[in-house]
Structure 1
Amino acid sequence: MTSVLTNTNAMAALSTLRSISSNLETTQNRISSGLKVESASDNAAYWSIATTMRSDNSALSTVADAIGLGAAKVDTAYAGMESAIDVVTEIKAKLVTAQESSADKTKIQAEIDQLQDQLTSIAESASFSGENWLQADINTASVTKSVVGSFVRDSSGSVSVKKVDYTLDSSTVLFDEGADATTGYGKGILDSEALFTGTDGITVTISVNGIESDEAVKGYSTDELMATTGMTFTDDGDQKVATDGTDTYLQVDGEKWAKLTTTAPTTGQAIAYNDGTTDYYIDTGETPTNVTSANAGFTVYDLDITDLATVASNMGGSFTEDDALDFMIQFVDDALSTMTSAAADLGSVSGRIDMQEEFISSLSDSLESGIGRLVDADMNEESTRLQALQTQQSLAIQALSIANSDSQNVLQLFR
């Protein structure tokens, strides 16, 4: 039936054209935006997941920047610590040189002074973004420095920022900014006062019934014996002895002397010295004097080899300048060990940060790829669909034109 009021063919063609136009508009939007899910109305589930992941990826980008800042702080501290280790190693070498009897300690100390000044310069300049990890106020408590490590979203959806901690204390800080104003001593590696813990003993070889053994006895210094009233020294070419008329001493180790006795402390003990009429034995009953935490009065930063006598006196017991120099070398070596350990810790933190940077970069790429799989449009597919829809649109327009012309054909019946 043909009707001039209702053109069902035109209505059908128009409905098809509207559907094709709608699909064509959707395809064109996907091609222009590159997204198949641009809004929640396109696919609510995918849009929600993608939006959350984009937010997390943005946070990871910020975390990557923060990690870079933290890495710079750690690298700066490590570079400073490494340079300081080189300087302290040189100071140790100078102290070893000073052990030579002909060494000019004044000139060597002048070189050490310059190296000590270099240490302060290194510590002061090892600063990045207002933070210095080589000098801090640790007088009352340690200080914890933190750098951003990662951004984490757990299985429950909770988010958190993980940090990497590094403690500034007496084993990691070179100089204590909270050092005592009166003494100048702090708790840092380079400004902490040397504490001597040991004895004034020396090791001597004792022969008992032909069996030799090493034994520790109290040692006396040459200066100490010379300060005793009435002390005289005798050198028979092979052995050197000293006596004040009551006690007799035998030189056994450089500037060290062991006390002698006329009664053998142990049956079968070999004679240590004979003055032509009397046999003398090492007095093994003269036990060493224990010195516990004596303040030696120097630090790595201000040690002075031109005043070893004062250091020896501060150590307590019967110590010589050579003993004081030996203790200085040991103290500096201990400081080197501590600094090396601190540098190793900084290196470990730096390595962890580098790995975290690589991980975050890979994670960000993975998130970006995952988001793309959910919402990105397949341009090959959309291009093919566009061509098909454009063809369909042309055919639909042609069909509508034919349907609209049907009513015109009715006029031919009235002619």
Structure 2
Amino acid sequence: MGSSLLTNSSAMTALQTLRSVSAQLATTQNRISTGQRVSTASDNAAYWSIATSMRSDNAALSAVSDSLGLSAATVDTEYTALTSVIGDKESGLTKLQALLVEAKTAGIDRTKIQADITQIQQDMKLKANSATFNGINWLSTTTGTTPTSFNLVSSYSRVGGTPTIGSITITTANYTLYSTTQTGILDTVAASASVDTINISALTDSAADQTTLDGYISKVTAAINSVASAAADLGAVKNRISTNTEFVKTLMDSVDRGVGQLVDADMNAESTRLQALQTQQQLGVQALSIANQNSQSILSLFRG
């Protein structure tokens, strides 16, 4: 093929090759700078869409993790108060029961025992009123203000375009010790008295008063069983929240790995590719330069 002044085929071929190499080099440099082989929808629309949805799911899971942390703190507050109300030989319902048994002793000064009982009653109510976290209190409730149940967010999942939010339902009445309507475990009145209003200062050694004491002891024993059951239930909820928290964190890590497999760049491969493309670019520039020099040789044909 002869030389043409108007058309330099070699230069055109070299230029096309150089353009292709430069485009690939720009893509590789972008992957290295972002760390992703799919950073925009134009890179791979399907993978980008999936990765975007998965990142959105992970944001929702992060919110669930935060919610579980808040729920754990709330449950722990209520659980701590319940166990404190049950008490031991020095406090709470356990001590109250012991005092009432002691009050069965003939000739004992029940007025002095009542002084201790009153302190315990006040202390238990104080603990119930203090069991508040983030404005929530399940032990001391106000009718019309305190919800009858609480849903503690525990999980999030999405199938297709349908999200599902799981929750742990807490029924307030199961843990209420005191309420404004006197329907709690400790303030429900039965046989003219509740655990909160027991008063033995006027009782004597008479058979009728001894029967009254037996009723009070039974009332306190039943209250211990009820509060212990409520505490055990909250303990199970605590364990469930703890398990869900670990699962959500593990699931978030799994989603992160899945997104990475879709869009992350292989930095070893990209580094090798960068060096190869830089070499090709340099060779392309040299090839274009040589092709352009061919047209200069035409001038020699016209020199005398």
2:109 and 2:272 map into 1 onto residues whose CA distance is: 91
Corresponding residue for 1:146?
A: 151
Deviation at 1:100, TM superposition (A): 2.1
1:146 and 1:44 map into 2 onto residues whose CA distance is: 38
Any residues of structure 2 matched to 1:231-250 within 5 Å, and which?
none
Greater helix content: 2
Corresponding residue for 2:187?
A: 191
| 1:341 pairs with one of 229, 243, 254 | 229
Any residues of structure 2 matched to 1:21-100 within 5 Å, and which?
21-86=22-87, 87-100=92-105
2:185 and 2:65 map into 1 onto residues whose CA distance is: 33
Corresponding residue for 1:166?
A: 170
2:246 and 2:39 map into 1 onto residues whose CA distance is: 31
Corresponding residue for 1:307?
A: 202
Contact 1:67/1:147 (8 A) holds in 2: yes
> Where do 5+ consecutive residues of structure 2 fail to align?
none
Contact 1:9/1:403 (8 A) holds in 2: yes
Contact 2:140/2:178 (8 A) holds in 1: yes
Corresponding residue for 1:288?
A: none
Contact 1:27/1:385 (8 A) holds in 2: yes
| 1:408 pairs with one of 292, 296, 299 | 296
2:105 and 2:301 map into 1 onto residues whose CA distance is: 135
Larger Rg: 1
2:149 and 2:202 map into 1 onto residues whose CA distance is: 38
Task: Output the aligned Cα RMSD.
Answer: 1.8
Deviation at 1:102, TM superposition (A): 4.4
1:164 and 1:118 map into 2 onto residues whose CA distance is: 31
Contact 2:111/2:202 (8 A) holds in 1: no
2:98 and 2:292 map into 1 onto residues whose CA distance is: 106
Give the percent of matched residue pairs that are identical in Structure 1 and Structure 2. Answer: 50
1:21 and 1:94 map into 2 onto residues whose CA distance is: 90
Corresponding residue for 1:276?
A: none
Greater Cα shift, 26-35 or 63-72: 63-72
2:252 and 2:203 map into 1 onto residues whose CA distance is: 62
1:79 and 1:152 map into 2 onto residues whose CA distance is: 32
2:202 and 2:269 map into 1 onto residues whose CA distance is: 88
Per the alignment, in what secondary structure is the counterpart of residue 306 of structure 1?
A: coil
Corresponding residue for 1:365?
A: 253
Contact 1:138/1:187 (8 A) holds in 2: no
Deviation sequence 1:207-230 (CA, Å, 0-9, x none): xxxxxxxxxxxxxxxxxxxxxxxx
> Where do 5+ consecutive residues of structure 1 fail to align?
180-185, 195-295, 313-318
Deviation at 1:111, TM superposition (A): 1.0
Counterpart amino acid of residue 175 in structure 1: Y
TM-score by length of 1: 0.69
1:88 and 1:30 map into 2 onto residues whose CA distance is: 67
Corresponding residue for 1:399?
A: 287
Contact 1:138/1:168 (8 A) holds in 2: no
Corresponding residue for 1:216?
A: none
1:45 and 1:320 map into 2 onto residues whose CA distance is: 83
Contact 1:31/1:379 (8 A) holds in 2: yes
Any residues of structure 2 matched to 1:378-393 within 5 Å, and which?
378-393=266-281
Deviation at 1:105, TM superposition (A): 1.3
Counterpart amino acid of residue 397 in structure 1: V
TM-score by length of 2: 0.94
Deviation sequence 1:166-199 (CA, Å, 0-9, x none): 1112x420001x32xxxxxx110110112xxxxx
Contact 1:190/1:300 (8 A) holds in 2: yes
Deviation sequence 1:265-300 (CA, Å, 0-9, x none): xxxxxxxxxxxxxxxxxxxxxxxxxxxxxxx22211
Per the alignment, in what secondary structure is the counterpart of residue 109 of structure 1?
A: helix
Deviation at 1:160, TM superposition (A): 2.4
Any residues of structure 2 matched to 1:109-258 within 5 Å, and which?
109-137=114-142, 143-154=148-159, 156-169=160-173, 171-176=174-179, 178-179=180-181, 186-194=182-190
Greater strand content: 1
